[in-house]
A = this chain, B = another copy of it.
Amino acid sequence: MAVTLRDVAQRAGVSIKTVSNVVHERQYVKDSTREVVQAAIDELGYRPNLSARSLRSGRSGVIGLALPEVRLPYFAELADSVITEAKERGHTVLIEQTGAEVSSERELLRSPRLQLTDGLIFSPLALSQADVGLLDVDYPLVLLGERIFDGPCDHVVMDNVAAARAATAHLIDTGCRRIAVIGAHRDEDQGSAALRLRGYQQALQAAGLPLDEELVAYVGLWHRHDGAEAMRELLASGVEVDGVFGMNDTLALGAMRALQDAGLGIPGDVRVIGFDDLEETRYTAPTLSSVDPGRMEIAQTAVQVLLERIEERLSGTERAPRRQHTTSYRVVSRESSA
């Protein structure tokens, strides 16, 4: 059925080893031999069996990417960046969706589904510091985001507190005094929600503005629907608002929608800023100010670090200590806060 190295060797009248050498473009092969072998490969349409190669060599060329849901724009863009970067480095990406449930995130780490993967890039949404022990797995793992610190693996993060502080400060600079924040999670102190809330609070304090709990909107998920819902409740509560910081763009877009439904002008009556710098923020009406989290940098760093770990593991090199890699962010001002 499938053409194997042996078939090629037979056809070319050489040993299996020589064919392997040609396939891997190794030196120490006479040019004439190489040509004969290459001809046999082409004629027979030989394609290496990656399962066999993987079994033998211990590496499959596939890396796993675990995230809540690819349909969420932020993760779709992150996946794109990771896939692109991995391809650049000769690897393919297998995607696992965890749906943001703690249980599936925990299971994922021990899942046999990842077995033919050389390593994993994991962006948890629900796991907490208490789960840090689960991260001590026997395969290369790079963690994304700030839900867990001081884990036994490499970690790529953006400074959420500073970025949220900058976003909030941006609204303050443009004159806002009653800034609502949408996307807080109750009883959380490590996740993005908690960190961005902290940044928001720090900015208010730095500006000498009061922290008004009425301006903090708690939500379940960070979907558009939740942002719209939260904004509606905020408006219904009668609390005065002249600025909105959405913990991500999707929430902010939902909030914009609710504000517009209520007949409020953006940025006239209320200024809005989001977080993530999704492509669509450039095309909404009005265009949405946001924080660019440096997605490309995150993806590149994560893939690079992961591949280094994979290499290290295979070559038995002394393991470098696990590191935390911090990437940069940038506030992007658009119409919604002009």
Contacts and interface: CB of A to CB of B under 8 A. Distances in A.
A113 interface: yes
Copies of this chain held together in the complex: 2
B80 A97 contact: yes
Nearest to A62: B94
A168 interface: no
A96 interface: yes
Interface of A: 2, 47-52, 54-55, 60-62, 69-71, 73, 76-77, 79-80, 83-84, 87, 92-97, 110, 112-113, 115-116, 138, 224-225, 228, 253-254, 256-257, 260-261, 279-280, 282-285
A2 B283 CA distance: 51
A98 to B, nearest CB: 11
A69 B73 contact: no
| Residue among A47, A51, A256, A280 facing the most chain B CB atoms (10 A cut-off) | A51
B54 A116 contact: yes
Contact of A112 (B47, B70, B282): B47
Contact of A79 (B60, B84, B95, B261): B95
A14 to B, nearest CB: 21
B69 A80 contact: yes
A116 B60 contact: yes
Nearest to A280: B224
Given A71-B279, A77-B71, A97-B80, A50 B284 contact: no
B112 A97 contact: no
Nearest to A113: B92
A338 to B, nearest CB: 14
Contacts of A285: 256-257, 260-261, 285
A96 B84 CA distance: 9
A47 B115 CA distance: 8
A228 B49 CA distance: 47
